[in-house]
Chain A
């Protein structure tokens, strides 16, 4: 909306990377598509799941299989020709003719389509069948876990779905709330951290600047220098101990000082230290001239920071800050040590019921991976909104002038 990327990049960027792979770039059409065709053949040779739709159309699959083979043969011939006639390949080989190249490109689309169909038939339908089997097994009068790997995982996931869901929600809550609260705390802390003594300051202000900056330094060192698992225990049991000094009963304390709250406090305090350092990096990378210009107009140190330096510094820090959310999604897993019911705790719980550590761990791996991928995708879009870009230093009269409407 505000500014487009500069000239030469625009043309290439109009298409997405995937679209450009299929439509613009045919250098790897033979080798790349051959690899896909090989995967398709492997899929075709694997056993059909119960819900396979190709099992009803055996001839179709046979034709598809031989089309893949044909592609491999043609590619092999073309590539061998190319290797043998390396120097005059372009003028000599029939495969280099424009018409043949175009035909190869269209054929490669067919290969990709065939592989896609095979993938859906074997993998997607395979998971679906396993899920069906698992659900059926779970709903029997006497539930019994099926032995095959995929069905076993589906069974565990289905049986433990409430536990997993609770854990997943807790993890997301911890990461999102923790990161957001930590961001604001980090803003306060970095503000204290970057304070320097200014001439008009009186002794009172000077004293608090020194104290604030010192506190931020010590805080950052201590928090970043100790493991979060240990911090979680210190915070949880420490505050618990303080509550014990009151007349509250243990049950009452557990109601107030929940493991979720302790986990949230831990993740927030931890993330604050890291985010402060990211923000400090961003703020210190703002050109000194910006402050000088603001001060030369008569703005106080505080005003120059708030109006000029911080907005730019925070913008520079956005990539690092958004990374912190992804880190928090993963690092919240250590909070299970104090019994916070997050995804990791759910995993351990479910694994304990079925004595299936590996399968359960695999389920939570996939869950964490999906969470972090969704988070980084969303944050990427978010960062693009802020138009984070690097500005050319010292522009000249050659730089085109653009006026915003």
Chain B
């Protein structure tokens, strides 16, 4: 019975969003990412059920929710690290879920930052950043290094350009990972719990970089448990529960007067803890 409620909530959410984005006056920006009726299951387990979501250019969308609610899977569907079972993921004009789509070309424009950093262990910091630009953009090595140094400087790690990635702290690794993604000059950045593997006292240095990125107008989709970040930085907060979007809206509204009982329950636990 609660499941039915959730579906209703998800349905209303999508109904509320669809006219807003599709029916805006001509000339207004098209959504950069439009997710329609997305479904994904792992075996018998339905992880995502009928997800509808629009991300406008320059928007910061934060996805919150309990573990196992499908947040990360949704994010990974946006750059096709997980293949959706049904539905569409439009990025600009291309449908990522279509068969035989050139995923590699599209991924160049979608940066991703992982919970476990995933820096290339066989390279130093600078090579981590220049690998993709040199390989894919046919950029000269010197030029790629120049770009990489600019981004490393912006995350405060220019001095570590020649360092072995295995010798960095977690916070440093994650900042390198962000710089690496930025080197491809992406239109969209995906963050998959970027601070969950970090010590509490160094979470701040990573969030600071993300905050600056948001201020510069980067379009971002962030899966996080950092409620303060969701509240202060994002333009829209999406609360996911059991594979559906239970509620979404402006952070001011969602955090102060959540409508869905599950949202209230979830936020209450977070705010007291």
Contact = CB atoms under 8 A, between A and B. Distances in A.
Contacts of A315: 122
Contacts of B159: 403
B104 A298 contact: yes
Given A199-B83, A293-B118, A295-B107, A402 B131 contact: no
Which of B99, B101, B105, B131 has the largest count of A CB atoms less than 10 A from its CB? Answer: B131
B112 interface: yes
A295 B197 contact: no
Interface stretch (B49-57, B169-177, B244-252): B169-177
A296 B120 contact: no
A293 B81 CA distance: 10
B256 interface: no
Contact of A402 (B118, B167, B170, B171): B167
A65 B221 CA distance: 84
B148 interface: no
Interface string B29-64: 000000000000000000000000000000000000
Given A290-B118, A391-B166, A396-B169, 6 more contacts: A200-B103, A303-B135, A397-B201, A403-B159, A403-B167, A404-B162
A308 B123 CA distance: 9
B4 interface: no
A296 B79 contact: yes
Contacts of B110: 296
Given A200-B104, A298-B108, A401-B167, A307 B131 contact: yes
Interface residues of A, number: 36
Interface string A284-299: 0001011011111111
Contact of B167 (A200, A303, A400, A405): A400
A227 interface: no
Nearest to B181: A297
A199 B104 CA distance: 10
Nearest to B190: A296
A289 B165 CA distance: 15
A290 B241 CA distance: 29
Contacts of B101: 199-200
A181 B98 CA distance: 43
Contacts of A303: 135-136
Contact of A403 (B111, B163, B169): B163
A24 to B, nearest CB: 30
Given A297-B184, A298-B108, A289 B160 contact: no
B21 interface: no
B227 interface: no
Interface of B: 79-81, 83, 99-112, 114, 116-122, 124, 131-132, 135-136, 159-160, 162-164, 166-173, 177, 180-181, 184, 197-199, 201-202
Given A296-B111, A298-B108, A298-B132, A3 B170 contact: no
Which of B80, B104, B109, B166 has the largest count of A CB atoms less than 10 A from its CB? Answer: B104
A181 B177 CA distance: 38
Contacts of B122: 308, 311-312, 315
Contacts of A296: 79, 81, 107, 110-112, 114, 181
B120 A401 contact: no
B100 A202 contact: yes
Interface of A: 2-3, 199-200, 202, 287, 289-290, 292-300, 303, 307-308, 311-312, 315, 391, 394-405
A311 B123 CA distance: 10
Contacts of A397: 169-171, 198-199, 201-202
A308 B108 CA distance: 17
A290 B164 CA distance: 16
Nearest to B202: A397
A299 B164 contact: no
Contact of B121 (A199, A200, A298, A312): A312
A262 B227 CA distance: 69
Contact of B169 (A3, A297, A312, A401): A401
B92 to A, nearest CB: 15
A289 B83 CA distance: 16
B136 A401 contact: no
Contacts of B116: 287, 289, 394
Contacts of B184: 297-298
A289 B193 CA distance: 14
B100 A297 contact: no
A209 B168 CA distance: 38
A199 B82 CA distance: 11
28 contacts: A2-B164, A3-B167, A199-B103, A200-B102, A289-B114, A292-B114, A296-B110, A296-B111, A296-B112, A297-B180, A297-B181, A298-B106, A298-B109, A299-B104, A299-B135, A308-B120, A308-B131, A394-B116, A394-B197, A395-B169, A395-B173, A396-B199, A397-B198, A398-B169, A399-B167, A403-B159, A403-B167, A404-B164
Contacts of A307: 120, 131, 135
A395 B172 CA distance: 11
A293 B192 CA distance: 12
Contacts of B163: 401-404
Nearest to A392: B166
Nearest to B205: A397
A348 B104 CA distance: 61
A376 to B, nearest CB: 26
Nearest to B160: A403
Nearest to A389: B166
B204 to A, nearest CB: 11
Nearest to B197: A394
